[in-house]
Each structure stands twice: as structure tokens, then as C-alpha cells.
A and B are shown apart, each in its own frame.
Chain A
């Protein structure tokens, strides 16, 4: 009887060893060397080009360009040309995604969903006014086209904000419009005689 008990003990130990050992066996490596594919962001707006035209005068271009999107680098802002004092310009906005080659034109997408978007303009100093020259299907302003008026010579500021899903119609202020900001950039533009 004594001996049979010992045998039973041995089987217990074996069983324990089996249970614990089993845990280790499962973990042989499953190394697949397939690298993940890079994501090229699709609907990102990297670039806003604003062209200001006045018949008989040189065109002025404003650009804000942020190629690394939400990366650490701030957007690069360029102002090419000088506005003339007391002049009205026809303005148009082009939006691009330059992370793709060729660059994707986002302008058309905004025009298509015009009821869900609106540009807002704030002016200062030598830039005196911006008026909408276009509207969405419901007759509310959109802002892809606008007219800009300068005052006396000096330095003018122009802030352009694109809101997605703003309240439409609104009183023209950002706080009343709400929605989300897709673009918010400001430019300082020289205005000469």
C-alpha cells in the first residue's frame, strides 16, 4: 500500500509538470516580416492659395502651406506682391492636398458640399472690407470667390477661416456660425500707393 501511494505522488508531479509546461509551448514566435503600408492622408488640406486680381494691376498671391499636417512644423506663409491702396480686388481661393502627387484639388469638394462649408473673413488696418461673391444652393454665402477692398496705404491683415458644418445662415461671425475649423490662417499684406 505504501508503494502505491508513492506511485500516485509521482503521477501528480507529472501532471503538474504537464500543466505548467503546456503554458510555455504555445509561445513560439510568429514572426511575419510583412511591413505595414504607409497611410497617405486623403482629405488633408495642406495648401491654401488665395489669388487677388484687379484689372490692369499685378495679381497678388497669398499662400499658407503646411506639408507635415499635424506634424511639429508650423505652416509656411507667403505673400507674393503688393496690394494697391483704395482698390477692389476679385479674390479666389484654391485648396490643395500636396501630400499626394499630383496634388489633389480640394476646392471642388468644398464647392460640391457648399451647404456644409463657409469661409469667414476678418480684415484689419489697410484692408477694409471683404464681400462674398458666391453663394451655396440655398443662397447663403460660401466664400470661394469674394471681393476685397483696400483703404489707404499701409499694412493690412486678412484672416481666412473655413468652417465645416457651420450654422447656415449665420450673422457672419465665427461665434454665431459654430461648426469646425478646417482652415484658420492670417496674412499680413503690404498695401502701397
Chain B
């Protein structure tokens, strides 16, 4: 410290120092992380022909140096060159720290695959070509490329990712290192993310990545923008995608300016508009979508320290299939029996009720600093505001009023410290605090489905990774989370009593309004998560990973508080104040072989979840509008067993085939009945041809076979007022198996620089097959999307 102070002093007085040129500069070059000496580093004085090399102790000596300010260029074969400015005043000593593990730093990694987030868990990722193909689609559709990932849809535009059979609050979406808080609790709430704002997308199948959250029982979706190189450059990229189905398209454009100093700024924007989609036999009325997104990154990345500011805005207006908006259980019975939509209107781009409009603001700032010989400390603050309007078909003065108007505001601050100074050990510890508040606007004139609440989350974690020799890596982690939910909720007195809350929760009533009660439920949850696993590499191309993760998840607001008729789904949804945290124990194994010419991954898992929170139809309630199925949350013991298999083979240098299979079985162990909404087995085979000499011509043909789900919970019997008798409501019966064929072809040209222009043509559901998917909530009403021809044009500049 004294040395630096002395330097500072010299700097101030330096200008009056006399020109003497017989000084000796002694230097020492050490590794930044562990202070070990670096031998053979070259030291030059900029602008002079004086050079030397460091000895085995990392020391160097330069003679006949003048007083004054000089600049040294220090370079080492395994390090980036560094320029050091120093002031010479008499004989001078200077210590220089070089970053020796540069190749391990994610910040400067520009090419090649990013390292896996967990070393022992099951992971999958999308490559850049996948993202180009899915630029105009939703995130959920793109993620389905990854084995073991499927989706829970409400039509074609609301796509919730499902990882190994689990979805919703069990999946954590990490957008640019910010945990998305976008009301993921609803079945018809898709992640509010523009797929075009992120280029690095990976999925961790399970809760093993404890640094992001302890409650990701299903998995973690990690979205990151591509790292920006530390060079002086300005480049941009624009992609246009046009779609025949929906008769629309999307446009996305990004511009990046970076500097040698590490400073960068990136701006990106996207816009998408589609009209009504088409099934093979009819138009799907009111299924248009309009999406707009912008994002701005600005930051400076240096080895010692760096900061980033990020802001993104995403706005979407999604039409909900008109035919799926039904009145009561008889309408549902009619729809299921007729297998035809009851409303088919002419093609239109207009989005009318029922629809949803959601906007999401996300802002973050972070700062990191490397501490010599220790590691890297990071602090981050992020802010999110999610606003959701859901419109139903209403009459009179209320016709244009939303039926649901929620505003969710979240502040998060987090800090972590990564100890990576030792080559064989990487330890990360961190804390997180989050405040969230939900406001349910009463102006809708519809009773709130989700109440006003304030939520506090606190988390602390430690994760480590140890390399034991060349072949073995051990990984482990521990996390504790505290959640406090403080809600103000109105209950109808009749519901309050029907649920038995008047017995168990009489103390939380704060106001009695006659037919309604205002209550103040406050719940605390203490959750522990832990993970341990190993990775063993053998015979140079084999890899075995075993991971065990225990994770607890606190119930979400929907599971606790839902209460009322969900008009858009024609069902009464009932939460339960008695619901407690669920706890998952998951073993996953991954056995991989990759010789370059061919390879496979075999990844079985078993996930046992105690107090699993499940929403399923269990009865019917009568109102003046008729009868409605009641979907109630309950807790049980669940078990998910599954396997993800993938196999590839390069038959020649140009022809490759890929084969993927995923299967999962879910069972309610307390009743031995299959779980609801478990994806059916799925087999994908593709063959692709790639010729780099012929404008990078790529042609791939893909076949996807989705099996019929034979395991589903029994249907319920309901009294139909229309038929005046009890009938079966086939609400759980899955549709038949289906087979889809798709074709993709692309070309890359060079206009001003190498491969800067790309063209692609894609045909999905090429045979225009009629099909319905079990995990699409609109399967009762209509067939899924028919053939879609899309054209994409990409230009890099």
C-alpha cells in the first residue's frame, strides 16, 4: 500500500523531476490469481528498443532508464499482453500481475461452446443455427429442440417450457443473469422473453444449479447474450423471417459497438406480427400475435473489474382462440364431442377478445471486481415490472375492460464471490434478497384471481467444484431460502366456509363485508436445497455424470390463493391456504460417448417429490350459468421416472443423422394413479446434408413421432344440465399419436465479408397433418397448426 502511495506522490511531483538516465528498473511478474512467478515474459519499453525477459523467479531488470513516465508492454505466451504505465524516479521496483488463466475466463470467451453451468447435472443447449430457425417463434418452441424439453401450450403462441415433465414455477428462467419474475404460475402465462435478445440458451434439467435458486425442481433455462469481444469494432445483424401460416413475419436487428478498452454497447430490437393461424382444415379464429422487444446492454469489461447495465422491454398481445372461450361444462362437452370449432371467422390480423396483453420491463446493473490471489466478487441489482391484462368476451360497458389486471414489481439485489485462485477448486458463495409486490387492479369489476401481496425472499448459497486429477470432478452445493408471503385477500364467505378456513384460519380475517371477508394470510417458508455429484471422464471420449439434488419449493400465489372462475378456461380454480413447500429428490445419470464421428448420450433420471403440488379436475360446481369443472390444488407424493437419449452419426463428411428420444412417466404414489399433463414419449429422427463448398448448402429432413399418452388420470363424471343426466367429461383423455415432418434448407453467401448473408427456407408440418397435442390446452376445441412455410434472410454487417 505504501508503495502505491509513494507512486502517487511521485506522479504528482514527477513533472519537476530532472532528466537522469542511469536508473535501474527492477520488476517482478506474477500470476494474478496465486502470485506465482511467471517465467519467460517479455518486457518492452514502448517506443524504445529496450527489452528483456523474466527469469525463473519472474524477475527482470532493465538498466539506464531515465526518470519520468514510461510504458511497459509485458507479454507472456499464455497470457494477454498488458501495458503498464509507471513513473521512474531513481531506482524503481515494479510488480506486474498477469492473468494467466485467460482461456478459462468466460468474459473473453468468444468462440466455441460455453462451458456447462453444472459439471454433473444433465444439460442441453441450443446452437446458433437453431436460434436462426426459431427467430420468429417463441422461446418455448425453440427449447423443444433439446431432448427432454417439451411444452405446455395454450394454442400456438403461448408456449410454456416443460423440462422432464415439470413446468411453471418449477422452472426458473434466467434472462441475462436475472431471474424472471413474470407470473410464471399460470398455465397460460408464457415466459416474457424475446428469443432474439439472447444467443446463448441452455437448459439445466433439474435444480443442480443452486446459485440461481433452490426451487428449480424442474430445471433452469439460462439465456445470455453472446459475449462481446474486446476489440474496436462495429457490427450488426438483421434477420427477417416470413411465415405463410399466420401470413406475417418477424424482424430483428442488433448493433454492437465495442472498444479495445473493454467498453461495449449493444442495442437490439425485434418486432413480430402474425394474423390468424391455420389448422389443416380451418382457420383458427383470433390466434394472431404481435410482439415487440428491445434491449440495450452497455458495459465495460476489464480483467480486474467491470460493470454492465442492461435494460429490456418486451410487449406482447396474444389472441386466444375464439372457439376455446366457452360458457360452461355443457359447452365443453359439446366441444369435446363435436371435435370441430364452434366459431370460425374469416382471416384477420386483428386481435380481439379473448386476448392477453403482457409487458415486461427488466433493468439491471452489476459490477465485478477480481481480487488478486483470491477470486471475483460480483454485486447486482435488478428491477422487473410485469403487467398483465387478460381480456374476456364481455358485454355492455365492460366490453373493453380487462378481466384481469395484475402488476408485479420485483427488486432483487444479489452478491456473490467466486474463489477460483486455485486451479483445482472453484468455490462460489452468495446472498440474495428480493422484494416483490403484486397489485391486482379492482377496476376490472371481476373478483381477483390472484390477490394483492408482498413477498420477501432471502437466500444464501455455497457451491463448489473440485478437480481430482485429470478424470474426476466433484461438485456440490448447499442453499437456504426464506420466503415470506404477506397477502390481502378477499374470500366469498361461502367459499371460506366450504374450504373449512373458518375453522383453521379464523384469526386472519381482518374485515367482514357481509358476503365477503378480507383476510391477511402471512406465510413463512424455510427451504433447504443441496446438490452433490461427480463427473468422470475415461477412455478419452467417455463421460459419466451422476448427480443427486434435493430441492424445496415454496407454493406460488396461484397454488395458495386461486379462488374463482377462470373465464378464459371455463373452470373454477381453487388454491389452498394449507399448501406447504414441496420437496424433490432427484437422481440423474448421464453417460456420454463422443468420438467425433458418432456419439450418444443416455440420460436416465428419477425424481421423487414429496408434497407435490398438483392441479387437476376433481368435481363440478353449479352456478346460474350452468356447471363448471372445479380444478383444485392438492398435495401428494409424486414420482417421475424418465430417460433422454440422443445419438448422432456422421456417415460421410457431408451427411449426418440425429436421433433423439425422450420418455417420462409420472405417478401419484399415494393413489398409484398417473399424473396429469405428463408429456408423451417423443421420437425425433433427422438426416442432414451439409456442403461447405456449395455456399454452405444445408438440407435437413426431420421426422417427429409423438406417441399417444396412455397414462392419464381418470376422467370425471358430471351432471349435464342440458342433457339432464350424468355424463363422462373426457377432460383427461389424451389425443392420438401423431407424426410430423419438417424440412429445412439454408445457404450462406459472402457479400462484403465471409458468410455474411444467409438464406433459409423451412417447412414445418410439411404434410399438413391433422393432429392434437395432449399438452395443448386448446386440444378440446381445434386441431393444431397446419403446414407453415417460412423464409429467413440474415445479414451480418
Q: Is the A/B pair a real complex?
A: yes
Chain A positions within 8 Å of B722 at CB level: 159, 161, 174, 184
A69 contact set on B, CB distance < 8 A: 492, 565, 623
Residues of A within 8 A of B394 (CB): 43
Does A7 belong to the interface (CB within 8 Å)? yes
CB distance from A74 to the nearest CB of B (A): 4
> Across the two chains, which residue of chain B brings its CB closest to A117?
B395
With A15-B377, A36-B490 known as contacts, the answer to whether A41 contacts B2 (CB < 8 A) is no
Measured between alpha carbons, how far is A164 from B564 in the docked complex, in Å?
21
Residues of A close to B379: CB separation below 8 A: 19, 22-23
Whole-angstrom distance from the CB of B390 to the nearest CB of chain A?
15
Q: Bound complex: CA of A185 vs CA of B330, how far in Å?
A: 12
Are A8's CB and B446's CB within 8 A? Answer: no
- Residue ID in chain A nearest B434 by CB atoms: A27
B513 / chain A contacts, CB cutoff of 8 Å: 38
User: Which of chain A's residues 137-172 have a Cβ closer than 8 Å to chain B?
Assistant: 157, 159, 161, 163-165
Binds B, one of A54-62, A82-90, A127-135, A175-183: A175-183
Closest chain B residue, CB of each to CB of A10: B1
The reply to whether A175 and B338 form a contact with Cβ atoms under 8 Å apart is: yes
Q: Are A4 and B2 in contact (CB under 8 A)?
A: yes
A38 near B3: Cβ-Cβ < 8 Å:
no
Asked if B236 CB lies within 8 Å of chain A CBs, one says no
Q: Please state if A116 and B371 are interface contacts (CB–CB under 8 Å).
A: no
Smallest Cβ distance from A165 to chain B, in angstroms? 7
Contact A66–B494 (Cβ < 8 Å) = no
Residues on the B chain within 8 Å of A41, using CB: 445-447
Note all chain A residues with C-beta closer than 8 A to B490: 36, 38-39
Per-residue interface assignment for chain B, residues 372 to 398, with 1 indicating a CB less than 8 Å from any chain A CB and 0 otherwise: 101001010000000000000111101
Q: Which residue of the partner chain, among B342, B372, B393, B451, contacts A36 with CB atoms under 8 Å? A: B451
Complex Cα distance A22/B367, Å?
A: 13
A42-B398, A178-B343 as given contacts; A26 in contact with B413, CB under 8 Å: yes
State the interface size on chain A (CB cutoff 8 A). Answer: 64
- Is B544 an interface residue when CB atoms closer than 8 A count as contact? no
Find chain A residues with CB under 8 A from B256 CB: none
Stretch at the interface among B159-167, B320-328, B660-668: B320-328
B340 to chain A, nearest CB (A): 10
The answer for the CA separation of A112 and B395 in the assembled complex, in Å, is: 11
A interface footprint on B477-500 (CB within 8 Å = 1, 0 otherwise): 000000000001010101100100
- The residues of B that contact A43 with a CB separation of less than 8 Å are 394-396, 398, 445
Given that A38-B490, A72-B495, A184-B330 are contacting pairs, would A164 and B395 also be in contact in the complex, using a CB cutoff of 8 Å?
yes
A32's closest neighbor in chain B, by CB? B454
Contacts of A37 in B (CB 8 A): 442
Nearest Cβ on chain B to A172's Cβ, whole angstroms: 14
Q: How far is the CB of B640 from chain A (nearest CB, A)?
A: 33
- From B326, B371, B414, B510, A23 is in contact (CB under 8 Å) with B414
A109 touching B442, Cβ below 8 Å: no
Say yes or no: is B724 at the interface (Cβ < 8 Å to chain A). yes
The residues of A that contact B440 with a CB separation of less than 8 Å are 36
Chain B residues with CB under 8 A of A123: none
With contact pairs A19-B415, A67-B515, A70-B564 given, residues A46 and B624 touching in the complex (Cβ less than 8 Å): yes
In the complex, the answer to whether A12 meets B371 with C-beta atoms within 8 Å is yes
Cβ-defined contact, A15 with B369, below 8 A = yes
Chain A: minimal CB distance from B497 (Å): 8
The CA-CA distance from A188 to B768 in the complex, in Å, is 50
Which residues of B sit under 8 angstroms from A66, Cβ to Cβ? 622-624
B649 to chain A, nearest CB (A): 50
Asked if B87 lies at the interface with its beta carbon under 8 angstroms from chain A, I say: no
Q: B600-627 CB contact bits vs A (8 Å, 1 = yes)? A: 0000000000000000000001111110
Cβ of B572 within 8 Å of any chain A Cβ, yes or no, is yes
Asked if A99 lies at the interface with its beta carbon under 8 angstroms from chain B, I say yes
Which B residues are CB-close (under 8 A) to A3? 2
Q: A38-B516, A43-B445, A70-B572 are in contact. Are A16 and B564 (CB under 8 A)?
A: no
Q: How many residues of B contact A (CB 8 A)?
A: 72
B448 in the interface (beta carbon within 8 A): yes
A64 at the interface (CB under 8 A from B): yes
Given the interface contacts A181-B331, A183-B624, does A70 sit within 8 Å of B565 by beta carbon? yes
Closest A residue to B498 by CB, please name it.
A72
Interface centre among B338, B374, B437, B623 (most CB of A within 10 A): B623
Interface residues of A in 49-106 (CB under 8 A from B): 64-75, 99
Q: A4-B3, A72-B621, A180-B393 are in contact. Are A23 and B431 (CB under 8 A)?
A: yes
Q: Is B432 an interface residue (CB 8 A)?
A: yes
CB of B411 within 8 Å of the partner chain: yes
Q: Which of A73, A99, A179, A182 contacts B625 (CB 8 A)?
A: A182
A193 within 8 A of B: no
Does residue B309 face the partner (Cβ distance < 8 Å to A)? no
B494 engages A71 (CB within 8 Å)? yes
Indicate if B433 sits at the interface (CB-CB under 8 A): yes
Q: Does B56 contact A (CB under 8 A)?
A: no
Question: Measured between C-beta atoms, what is the minimum distance from B681 to chain A in Å?
Answer: 36
Taking CB atoms, residues of chain A closer than 8 Å to B510 are 35
Say if the beta carbon of B692 comes within 8 Å of chain A.
no
Interface set, chain B 301-328, CB cutoff 8 A to A = 325-328
User: Within residues 452 to 485 of chain B, which ones have a CB less than 8 A from any CB in chain A?
Assistant: 452, 454, 456, 458
What separation, in Å, do the CA atoms of A99 and B377 have in the docked complex?
Answer: 58
In the complex the two chains form, is A19's CB within 8 Å of B377's CB?
yes
Q: Interface on B for A, CB 8 Å cutoff?
A: 1-4, 325-328, 330-331, 334, 338, 342-343, 369, 371-372, 374, 377, 379, 393-396, 398, 411, 413-415, 417, 431-433, 435, 437, 440, 442, 444-448, 451-452, 454, 456, 458, 488, 490, 492, 494-495, 498, 510-511, 513, 515-516, 518, 564-565, 572, 621-626, 628, 721-722, 724
Q: Would you mind naming 14 contact pairs between A and B with Cβ atoms under 8 Å apart?
A: A1-B3, A16-B417, A23-B415, A24-B433, A35-B488, A35-B510, A36-B442, A38-B442, A38-B516, A39-B446, A157-B724, A161-B722, A184-B624, A184-B722
Chain A residues in the interface with B (C-beta under 8 A)? 1, 3-4, 7-8, 11-12, 15-16, 19-20, 22-24, 26-27, 30, 35-43, 45-48, 64-75, 99, 109, 112-113, 116, 157, 159, 161, 163-165, 174-175, 178-186
Further pairs besides A43-B395, A47-B624: 13, Cβ < 8 Å: A22-B413, A27-B458, A35-B488, A36-B448, A37-B442, A38-B516, A66-B623, A74-B621, A165-B393, A174-B330, A180-B393, A183-B625, A185-B721
